[in-house]
Structure 1
Amino acid sequence: MRMRDTFLKPMHPEGFKFVGVFAAITVVLFLIWEPLGWIGVGLTVWCYYFFRDPARITPQVPGLVISPADGIVSLIETVSPPPELGMGDAPRLRVSVFMSVFNCHINRAPVPGEVVKVAYTPGKFLNASLDKASKDNERNGIVIRMDDGRDLGVVQIAGLVARRILCFSKEGDHLRRGERFGLIRFGSRLDVYLPEGVGTEVSIGQTMIAGETVIARLTQDNA
């Protein structure tokens, strides 16, 4: 890998306008006072890295559930899925990945399958690391139905700073494991509701890499 590739990562198109705004403000800050301009340079670089969209090598071994987000596992609980997902009331294991403002915020499909539900719910903007954020915060959930007929839910949750959830997928789309399906601006959380009876292979505090880190193994091999 060339040194340039280590520091220069592809940027998602959603970030172009924000980097442009930050750069324009930086020019103005330089005209006002040079030290302010250098602060603007730092913030512009941060904005560029926030929207970075690096290539990921997704394991294709059947039956794997891959992390949909970069970040830290903040919660592992057995709870009922949000009612808007239509996944029933039976408790499922939920793995929550908290993304700070320094993480890559591209969200990737944890399993392959058909998107059978997309549900947006308005709400508050509490700290996304809190448990009650799953119920109170603005969120967007998708349900992916795998080839074996089982459903897996993924919920994008806005955080204290985040003010925009983007979902690129719609009902009827077929996603590949590791395929990009959305992003959240700026700092947020992803909840994964595993199929009934499926356990997790991660622990609280563990670092996740979207599209690469295995969070669970399904009991069947046809996913």
Structure 2
Amino acid sequence: MRMRDTFIKPMHPEGIKFVAIFAAITVVLFMLANFLGWIGVGLTVWCYYFFRDPERVTPTREGLVISPADGIVSLIEPAVPPKELGMSDEALTRVSVFMSVFNCHINRAPVAGEVKAVAYRPGKFFNASLDKASVDNERNSLCIEMADGRELAVVQIAGLVARRIVCFVTPGAKLGTGERFGLIRFGSRLDVYLPNGVAPQVRIGQTMIAGETILADLMVTDEGSSSPE
């Protein structure tokens, strides 16, 4: 990898207009005062990095659930998937990944499968690290059916700063593990509802990399043994 590639990452097209706005404001700030202009330069660079869209190397072993977001595991607890998805009312293990404004905000499919449902629900904008954010905040939920018939839910949740959830897929779409399916601006959270009996392979406070970090293994149950094929 070239040194340039370490610092200069591709930017998602969603970010172009925002970087342009920040750059235009920077020009105005320079007209007012040099130090204000340099502050604008810093914010413009931050905006560019917020919308960065680097390539990721996704593990290929069958049965792995991969993190859908960069960030920190903030919660692991039993919870019922969003009712608008039409899934079972049974509580499943929910793993929440909190994204700060400095994380890459491109969201990636945790598993391969068919998108059975996409459901947007408006809501509030509490800090996304809080437990109540899963219930009260603006969200966009996906139900993905895997080849073995099991379902997994992944939910984009807007945060204290975020005001826009973007989803690239619709019901019927086929996703590969690690494939991009959306993004959130600017600071937010992703919840993953694991299939019944599947144990998470992460801990609270662990740093996650979207499309790369293993979140769970579908072949490992809550008791720690391998499930039958």
TM category (shorter chain) comes to: over 0.9
| Aligned-residue identity in percent | 75
Q: How does 1:50-89 map to 2 (within 5 A)?
A: 50-89=50-89
- Alignment match, 2:164: 164
Structure 1 outlier segments of 4+, above 3 Å = none
How far has the Cα of 1:15 moved from its partner?
A: 0.3
- The reply on whether 1:201 has 2:201 as its aligned counterpart is yes
How far has the Cα of 1:82 moved from its partner?
A: 1.3
Deviations 1:44-85 (A, max 9, x none): 000000000000000010000000000000000011111111
Three-state SS of the structure 2 residue aligned to 1:152 is strand
Three-state SS of the structure 1 residue aligned to 2:203 is coil
- Alignment match, 2:222: none
Deviations 1:77-133 (A, max 9, x none): 011111111111111000000000000000000000000000000100000000010
| Residue segments in structure 1 that go unaligned for 5+ positions in a row | none
**RMSD across aligned positions (CA):** 1.0
TM-score by length of 1: 0.98
Three-state SS of the structure 1 residue aligned to 2:9 is coil
- Alignment match, 2:109: 109
Three-state SS of the structure 2 residue aligned to 1:28 is helix
- Alignment match, 2:138: 138
Deviations 1:127-147 (A, max 9, x none): 000001000000000000000
Give yes or no for contact 1:63–1:221 (8 Å, CA) kept in 2. Answer: no
TM-score by length of 2: 0.96
| Residue segments in structure 2 that go unaligned for 5+ positions in a row | 220-226
CA distance in 1, matches of 2:3, 2:18: 26
CA distance in 1, matches of 2:191, 2:87: 14
Three-state SS of the structure 2 residue aligned to 1:199 is strand
CA distance in 1, matches of 2:2, 2:30: 32
- Alignment match, 1:100: 100
Letter in 2 for 1:69: A
Three-state SS of the structure 2 residue aligned to 1:25 is helix
- Alignment match, 1:215: 215
Q: How does 1:183-202 map to 2 (within 5 A)?
A: 183-202=183-202
Give yes or no for contact 1:50–1:101 (8 Å, CA) kept in 2. Answer: yes
Q: Which moved more, 1:42-51 or 1:78-87?
A: 78-87
How far has the Cα of 1:221 moved from its partner?
A: 8.7
- Alignment match, 1:38: 38
